[in-house]
């Protein structure tokens, strides 16, 4: 019975692969590609953690206004005993326990400026996360459209190869009938070899692009991906604005100016007095004092007195800087120079960002014109190929003209694919340049 069961299980294990369905390709739209890239990106996860740290820094800075309460406990065992004018103080196992409250009253504005700096740090982390998110989206879009473009070129070359196979069969048949020369067959075979070589290169490139997209979206490199979005009909770009207000780089520069302003406030606070209030209570015990006292009949007897008590304390402290050889003023001047540098950086980079936006607008506009030019060129190439085929069949044009027409069609089709893909990439770059890529 056991042998039969083992034999059955072995047969089932051998037949199981025959019933396993091949893994279905991952059907992916551009929106899904973006979502998966955002969920997978380690850089974006790090930026999110940095933002959380900045949020905690802001909350920590807010606690500087609140009183600080601290407790302490001390135990001591001191040898030898302390001689105090004929008496011995014994501190073997002495203990103290207390609680202290400290409240800053005036710090010259350092606490408020520190809180503002923490808020600025949180805003900086937010803008850096936006920048990282935009970078991830740009990378995802580029990988998506590049893979689509290369696959379209694969399809175009496969169609081209099919045309050449048909032409080769027709020419071989014509050669057999004495209506073609052997040189024509050799020309076609050379062209077929060239196309196969190009097709293999493009297929390899498509596989590399697929793996690149797998890396971006965080799936296994062996995953087959089916792209659901297509370039389709591309409409003319509408009104493109050169607004920079949403650009995270500009926000970061503005926050740098605000941070330098707060640094000046903090440096000036070192020149102002500080006031703090401290209150506490300490309880001590197990302090013994040994002495000799008169028992009443002139005979001294040993007497031990133990001390256990609590002490309360309240203290107002004022610290006033008087003379530091001009150190604080020099630090203020240094912070002011840093502020001026930040303002100059803002002016310079605002102009550079404006140029970048103008370039992005120009790329979108020129990209659409290139698509129109490529579509016109493809229409002409298709018509030229149709005419050449008819002439070649009617023996009114040589084979070289037909091959040239096919090559022109291939180049025109490739130009259109590249123009449409580049236009999509330009659109994404424009959205990033204006801070609207979310």
The tally of domains found in the chain comes to 2
Q: How far apart are CA 132 and CA 125, in angstroms?
A: 10
Shared-domain flag, residues 42 and 137: yes
Res 21: pLDDT: 45
Res 427: pLDDT: 94
Shared-domain flag, residues 326 and 315: no
Shared-domain flag, residues 248 and 371: yes
Q: Which domain-ending residue is among 282, 304, 320?
A: 320
Shared-domain flag, residues 307 and 242: no
Shared-domain flag, residues 243 and 352: yes
Strand partners, 274: 319
Res 14: pLDDT: 44
Q: What is the pLDDT of residues 328-346, one digit of tens each?
A: 899 999 999 999 999 999 9
Shared-domain flag, residues 158 and 262: yes
Shared-domain flag, residues 136 and 52: yes
In this prediction, what percent of the chain has a pLDDT beyond 90? 70
Q: What is the pLDDT of residues 154-206, one digit of tens each?
A: 999 999 999 999 999 988 988 888 888 899 899 999 999 999 999 999 999 99
Res 92: pLDDT: 86
Indicate the pLDDT class of residue 142, thresholds 50, 70 and 90.
very high
Res 233: pLDDT: 66
Mean pLDDT of the chain: 89
Shared-domain flag, residues 145 and 254: yes
Q: Angle, to 10 degrees, between the axis of helix 42-62 and the axis of helix 110-176?
A: 170
Is 390 part of a structural domain of the chain? yes
Residues ≥6 apart with Cβ < 8 Å to 97: 71, 72, 73, 74, 282, 283, 284
Res 12: pLDDT: 45
Shared-domain flag, residues 163 and 128: yes
Here the tokens at position 163 are 């045309």
Is 11 part of a structural domain of the chain? no
Q: Angle, to 10 degrees, between the axis of helix 30-40 and the axis of helix 182-217?
A: 50
Is 207 part of a structural domain of the chain? yes
Q: What are phi and psi of 178, to 5 degrees?
A: 80, 20
Shared-domain flag, residues 381 and 300: no
- Does pLDDT of 83 surpass 50? yes
Q: Mean of the pLDDT values across residues 301-316?
A: 86
Res 23: pLDDT: 65
Res 394: pLDDT: 86
Residue in 432, 364, 433 with CA at minimum distance from that of residue 133: 432
Is 314 part of a structural domain of the chain? yes
Q: Which domain-ending residue is among 293, 320, 347?
A: 320
Is 438 part of a structural domain of the chain? no
Is 202 part of a structural domain of the chain? yes
More confident residue, 26 or 15: 26
- Does pLDDT of 298 surpass 80? no
Q: What is the pLDDT of residues 378-426, one digit of tens each?
A: 999 999 999 999 998 888 889 999 999 999 999 999 999 999 999 999 9
Q: What is the pTM of this model?
A: 0.84
Res 296: pLDDT: 66
Dihedral of CA atoms 255, 257, 262, 267 in degrees, nearest 10, equals 140
Shared-domain flag, residues 136 and 111: yes
Q: Are strands 300-319 and 274-294 parallel, antiparallel or unpaired?
A: antiparallel
Q: What is the pLDDT of residues 227-285, one digit of tens each?
A: 998 655 688 888 888 888 899 999 999 999 999 999 999 999 988 999 999 999 999 99
Shared-domain flag, residues 233 and 378: yes
Res 10: pLDDT: 47
Res 11: pLDDT: 45
Q: Which domain holds residue 312?
A: 69-106+273-320
Res 153: pLDDT: 95
Taking the chain, what is the end-to-end CA distance rounded to the nearest angstrom?
66
Q: How far apart are CA 90 and CA 79, in angstroms?
A: 8
Q: What is the pLDDT of residues 409-422, one digit of tens each?
A: 999 999 999 999 99
Indicate the pLDDT class of residue 1, thresholds 50, 70 and 90.
very low
Least confident of 14-18, 29-33, 117-121: 14-18
CATH of the domain at 199: 1.20.1600.10
Is 17 part of a structural domain of the chain? no
Residue 180 DSSP label: S
Res 275: pLDDT: 94
Is 10 part of a structural domain of the chain? no
């Amino acid at each position: 019975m056991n042998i039969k069961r083992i034999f059955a299980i072995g047969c089932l294990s051998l037949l199981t692969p025959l019933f396993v369905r091949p893994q279905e390709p991952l059907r992916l739209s551009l929106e899904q590609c973006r979502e998966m890239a955002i969920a997978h990106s380690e850089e974006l996860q790090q930026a999110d953690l940095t933002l959380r740290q900045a949020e905690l820094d802001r909350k920590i800075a807010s606690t500087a206004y609140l009183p600080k309460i601290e407790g302490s406990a001390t135990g001591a065992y001191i040898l030898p005993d302390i001689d105090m004018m004929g008496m011995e103080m014994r501190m073997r196992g002495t203990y103290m326990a207390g609680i202290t409250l400290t409240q800053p009253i005036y710090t010259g504005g350092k606490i408020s400026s520190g809180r503002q700096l923490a808020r600025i740090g949180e805003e900086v982390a937010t803008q850096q996360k936006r920048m990282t998110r935009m970078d991830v989206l740009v990378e995802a879009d580029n990988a998506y459209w590049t893979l689509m473009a290369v696959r379209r070129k694969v399809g175009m070359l496969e169609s081209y190869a099919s045309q050449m196979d048909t032409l080769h069969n027709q020419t071989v048949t014509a050669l057999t009938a004495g209506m073609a020369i052997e040189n024509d067959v050799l020309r076609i075979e050379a062209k077929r070899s060239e196309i196969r070589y190009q097709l293999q290169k493009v297929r390899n490139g498509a596989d590399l692009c697929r793996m690149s997209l797998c890396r971006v979206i965080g799936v296994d490199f062996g995953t087959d991906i089916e792209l659901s979005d297509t370039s389709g009909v591309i409409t003319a770009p509408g009104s493109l604005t050169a607004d920079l207000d949403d650009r995270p780089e500009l926000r970061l520069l503005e926050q740098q100016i605000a941070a330098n302003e707060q640094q000046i406030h903090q440096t000036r606070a070192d020149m102002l007095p500080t006031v703090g209030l401290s209150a506490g209570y300490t309880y001590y015990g197990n302090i013994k004092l040994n002495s000799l006292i008169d028992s009443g009949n002139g005979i001294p007897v040993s007497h031990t007195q133990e001390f256990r008590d609590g002490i309360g304390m309240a203290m107002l402290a004022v610290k006033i800087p008087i003379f530091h050889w001009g150190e604080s003023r020099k630090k203020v001047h240094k912070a002011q120079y840093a502020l001026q540098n930040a303002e100059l950086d803002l002016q310079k980079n605002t102009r550079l960002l404006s140029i970048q936006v103008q370039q992005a607008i120009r790329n979108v506009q020129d990209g659409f014109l290139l698509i129109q030019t490529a579509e016109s060129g493809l229409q002409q190439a298709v018509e030229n190929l149709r005419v050449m085929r008819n002439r070649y069949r009617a023996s009114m044009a040589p084979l070289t003209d037909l091959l040239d027409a096919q090559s022109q069609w291939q180049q025109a089709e490739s130009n259109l694919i590249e123009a449409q893909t580049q236009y999509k990439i330009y659109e994404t770059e424009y959205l990033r340049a204006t801070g609207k890529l979310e």
